Chain A
């Protein structure tokens, strides 16, 4: 293709071979250790304080390392992990319903549509059980049964009840547990916390990650922070679509800056579109709100059979309604996985049968459940969600069906890492949503929290020491080292450039337009023609951005427009790579659906012969270089997913 070149294959060299259930234990044993007396002389930078970053910073500090932690929010407690609703998976098998580490491993590899690395996923399933123990010990108020033991539920179509939860606020409670462990270490002087600081560049010296350049968002001061290793826990990049369920501040800048310095970016086109979000209400829309997936347990999804039928939904008789998920997928019905439910909603709306003022919505109807179980029972289960829906839309879902539509929710792609979670830059480790490692082409519900905490509490603290054990040979550097100065100057120049354009368009107007291009052509369904068009449009728009953007104010002090401008500038570059990745992957898998590659009945068609690999992209400044990591499936054999 004319848009990229292909380089040498890449391989994970850290995962031991042998039986899969022994690999993690062997890796831990073979990894080098750092003497407790030496740990306090070593500094680790952790960027981001969500489930992954918060738990990693706390745990590394408990081990005795000196940690410097950074977040853009005003407090580490506000990282976007806090918004996760549903729950966290763990292979505890407390229900005695046939769950096991192997089954969680199997479900995750299959759910990821056979595009993840078996060794990593098995380890994730193994440590899942430790996470629950850890969080309970911290006082996380999980839901409990009357006997005092932990309650679990089935989630996202899983056939076992392995999801632990704290009402609809599981992410909040797990994050506050990690945050409190972090605050304890801050109080003890083991972690130096820098809130309202944003990483704007990675410092690489002699091929190793040795620090970051940060901007103090309150004073505007730009400083270089040096360390023996850098950990990125900076989350996903769903905001490249402008509208998503992410927090407004979520961005790709930390990852993208590292990518530009040599860290490969893997599978950027794998994005998860969540089927149950509140539809867009107008041009002013600034974000989309998720309605928990659990609603599909009792709600029935439908649209009118006839196009353009805009009668009040209560006036549409049963036989003129199309319960399309129940019709197309009789065995899973309304509980089909996220990617399938999302695409089905898009299809009926494309046919002109969507509902609501924009025609981009489908009904999620609780009338049957209310009749069957009573309003009280529905209130007890979903009361808080129904209230939230009413606050946002002004409609009462007990009386009229909810309107929902898919929205960007999570990004499976991210910086490429090996089994040790180290990127292609030695000393740069990437954890949580920011890496690409565990979810393949589609993430299962309640697995994001599991992965974030697995990486932060249990994986990184066991693999990072292997790297730090050699820190004695890294060589001393200080802020006057030419590479360090160059990184800082580059940041200062970029900020000056953004401030000096003084054009006639706002940052948000560019971001919104970029998001529309991405949603249209690199969203739920992608095609060669659409992706090529998107790449052209992104390039034109990016050029416009650098000529016409207006960033008011100066670099001194709090300047929220300037913060946004830097983030959007990086989103432009990422967007192009996402489209190239989506274009080159001539198959459909998980969240990546190519119109040209579907079965006769419209389902995703993988091409394992050509595409059973992770695509790791190298930045060159010109055409990116593709490095393929072959994926081997020794334990879970690829099959076509079927939910009919």
Chain B
């Protein structure tokens, strides 16, 4: 099939950036979306142009590195699918496809379609863990975990940290990402001691990094390639409220 691509080109953080039109021909329906960009890049290099920079690594939907806004949808039109797993059979001959980077205040553009998502790491660093220094762990079976809780923790732990939730949110909020980790760790007994300091730390870091607030629009969960449920944000809010009331960290509270 033949396609028209309109791709965001931006030399660096200081450049204003613009959409540039490219035509690609003989695209196979068996190609992945990124392979289609590979083929275009090979051509650009031989034509003496700079190839389009985009992030990708595992190309099997698990590392979370790919991050393309395709026709205004994070990771494109197919539900539950990262851009690297999206295949060209989802498109038709003659289509025009707009490709843009994630756009959010907390994710500044580095170049073309590449953005800086280190703000996510800062949120984890501020409490998205259970303190368990190596060597200190008790025997694994000393604390059983109810299967329902373990399964629900897993659902939230499936987050790949790609940032589609932020890109899809009109507020540029990172609340689904934050809530997924808060939910995972608050559902297991090992996560209880730090439960309330964790949620405060992570939400503070989220706000400091420039993410917007959550206004329950729900675009995030619709865009999430891993199906992180919106109700994790409800759990976060509940823990946050309790933490504020308890004045997290105060002994005996």
Interface of A toward B, CB cutoff 8 Å? 55, 58-59, 62, 73-78, 80, 82-83, 92, 94, 130, 132-134, 136-139, 141-150, 166-167, 169, 172-173, 176, 179-181, 183-184, 186-187, 193, 195, 218, 245, 247-249, 281-282, 284-287, 289-290, 387-388, 391-394, 457-458, 461, 504, 506, 508-509, 550, 552-553, 557-558, 560-561
B209 within 8 A of A: no
Enumerate chain B residues within 8 angstroms of A290, measured Cβ to Cβ. Answer: 60
Known contacts: A73-B57, A169-B158. The answer to whether A139 contacts B134 by CB under 8 A is no
What is the distance, in angstroms, from A124's C-beta to the closest C-beta of chain B?
16
Per the bound structure, the CA–CA distance linking A77 and B55 in Å amounts to 14
- B45-53, B215-223, B228-236: which one contacts chain A? B45-53
A247→B137 contact, CB < 8 A: no
Q: Which of A76, A78, A145 contacts B147 (CB 8 A)?
A: A145
Q: How far is the CA of A143 from the CA of B111 in the complex (A)?
A: 40
A148-B144 in contact (CB<8A): yes
Is B97 an interface position by the 8 A CB rule?
Answer: no
**Bound CA span A62–B135, Å:** 10
Contact B51 A561 (CB under 8 A): yes
What are the residues of chain A within 8 A of B116 when measuring CB–CB?
74
Contact B28 A282 (CB under 8 A): yes
Q: Is the CB of A394 within 8 A of B153?
A: no
Kindly state whether residue B93 has any CB partner on chain A within 8 Å. Answer: no
- Say how far B91's CB is from chain A's closest CB, in angstroms: 13
Would you call B57 and A133 a contact (CB within 8 A)? no
Residues of B within 8 A of A136 (CB): 137, 140, 143, 190
Q: Which residues of B contact A249 (CB under 8 A)?
A: 57
Please give, as numbers and ranges, the residues of chain B lying within 8 Å of A143 by CB-CB distance: 150, 154
Q: Min CB distance, B3 to chain A, in Å?
A: 14
Which of these, B78, B110, B126, B145, contacts A391 with CB under 8 Å? B78
B161 within 8 A of A: yes
Indicate if B56 sits at the interface (CB-CB under 8 A): yes
A146 and B147 contacting across the interface, CB-CB below 8 Å? yes
Residues of B within 8 A of A186 (CB): 121, 125
Complex-state Cα separation, A249 to B48, whole angstroms = 24
Shortest Cβ distance from residue B128 to the other chain A in the assembled complex, whole angstroms: 6
Given the complex of chains A and B, what is the CA–CA distance between A506 and B46 in angstroms?
7
Sorted nearest first, the 4 A-B pairs with minimum C-beta distance are: A148-B144, A180-B129, A137-B137, A137-B132
Q: How many Å lie between the Cα of A142 and that of B59 in the bound state?
A: 24
For residue B202, give the distance in angstroms from its CB to the closest CB of chain A: 11
Q: Could you jot down 25 A-B contacts, CB within 8 Å? A: A55-B134, A73-B63, A75-B117, A75-B161, A78-B64, A130-B135, A138-B132, A139-B184, A173-B154, A183-B121, A184-B129, A184-B131, A187-B126, A247-B58, A247-B59, A281-B30, A284-B35, A284-B36, A287-B59, A287-B60, A391-B87, A506-B46, A557-B12, A558-B110, A558-B114
Is the beta-carbon distance between B125 and A184 smaller than 8 angstroms? yes
From B125, B133, B184, contact of A62 by CB (8 A)? B133
**A75 and B121: CB pair below 8 A?**
yes
Q: Which of B63, B86, B125, B132 is close to A134, meaning CB atoms less than 8 Å apart?
A: B132
> Which residue of A59, A94, A284 is within 8 Å of B134 (Cβ)?
A59
B101 within 8 Å of A (CB atoms): no
Q: Are A77 and B153 within 8 A (Cβ)?
A: no
Residue of A nearest to B154 (CB): A141
Establish whether residues B63 and A80, one from each chain, have CB atoms under 8 Å apart when the complex forms: yes
Contact status A137-B35, CB under 8 Å: no
Knowing that A75-B161, A139-B153, A184-B131 are A-B contacts, what are 19 other residue pairs whose CB atoms are under 8 Å apart, sorted by A's residue number?
A62-B134, A73-B63, A74-B118, A77-B64, A80-B57, A133-B140, A137-B132, A139-B188, A144-B150, A169-B62, A180-B124, A183-B128, A281-B31, A286-B59, A287-B60, A392-B32, A394-B87, A552-B48, A557-B12
Please name all residues of chain A whose beta carbon is closer than 8 Å to the beta carbon of B61 when the two chains form the complex.
Answer: 388
- Report the bound CA distance from A147 to B149 in whole Å: 12
Q: How far is the CA of A78 from the CA of B160 in the complex (A)?
A: 9
Contact B53 A180 (CB under 8 A): no
Q: Are B85 and A392 in contact (CB under 8 A)?
A: yes
Closest-CB distance, A461 to chain B (whole angstroms): 7
Cα A286 to Cα B31 with chains together (Å): 9
Give the most central of A137, A143, A179, A180: most B CB within 10 Å.
A137
Distance between B211 CB and nearest chain A CB, rounded to angstroms = 16
Instruction: For A134, list chain B residues within 8 Å (CB).
Output: 132, 134-135, 137
Contacts of B184 on A, CB cut-off 8 Å? Answer: 139, 141
Q: Is the CB of B158 within 8 A of A149?
A: no
- Known A137-B132, A139-B188: A172·B30 in contact at CB below 8 Å: no
Let me know if A75 and B132 touch, CB within 8 A. Answer: no
CB of B95 within 8 A of chain A? no
Cβ of B166 within 8 Å of any chain A Cβ, yes or no, is: no
List the A side residues contacting B129 at CB < 8 Å: 138, 180-181, 183-184
Across the interface, do B137 and A130 meet the contact criterion of CB distance under 8 Å?
Answer: yes
Return the contact of A284 from the options B31, B64, B185 (Cβ within 8 A).
B31
| A50 CB, nearest partner CB in chain B, Å | 11
B147, A144: Cβ atoms closer than 8 Å: yes
Are B63 and A82 touching (Cβ within 8 A)?
yes
Residues of chain B within 8 A of A74, CB atoms compared = 55, 65, 116-118
Contacts of B19 in A (CB 8 A): none
> Shortest beta-carbon distance, A195 to chain B, in Å?
7
Chain B residues positioned under 8 Å from A281 (CB to CB) = 28, 30-31
User: Is B28 in contact with A176, judged by CB distance below 8 angstroms?
Assistant: no
Chain B contacts of A62 at CB under 8 A? 133-134
Q: Which residues of B contact A391 (CB under 8 A)?
A: 78, 81, 85-87
A248 touches B57 (CB 8 A): yes
Contact A284 B140 (CB under 8 A): no
Interfacial chain B residues near A147, Cβ < 8 Å: 144
Inter-chain contact A150/B38, CB cutoff 8 Å: no
A83-B161 contact given A62-B134, A134-B132, A146-B147, CB 8 Å threshold: no
Interface residue B34 (Cβ < 8 Å from any Cβ of A): yes
Question: B158 contacts which chain A residues (CB < 8 A)?
Answer: 169, 172
Contact A176–B157 (Cβ < 8 Å): yes
Measured CB to CB, the closest approach of chain A to B168, in angstroms, equals: 19
User: What is the distance, in angstroms, from A253's C-beta to the closest C-beta of chain B?
Assistant: 15
- On chain A, the residues within 8 Å of B154 by CB distance are 141, 143, 166-167, 173
For residue B147, which residues in chain A have a CB less than 8 angstroms away from its CB? Answer: 144-146, 148
Shortest CB distance A247–B (Å): 4
CB closest residue in chain B, given A84: B62
With A183-B125, A187-B126, A461-B134 as contacts: A141 and B140 at CB distance below 8 Å: no
The reply to whether the CB of B146 lies closer than 8 angstroms to some CB of chain A is yes
Determine the distance from Cα of A394 to Cα of B81 in the docked complex, in whole angstroms: 14
Residues of A contacting B126 in the complex (Cβ-Cβ under 8 angstroms): 187
| Residues of chain A with a CB closer than 8 A to B12's CB | 557
Chain A residues with CB under 8 A of B144: 144, 147-149
Asked if B251 CB lies within 8 Å of chain A CBs, one says no
Contacts of B118 in A (CB 8 A): 74-75, 195
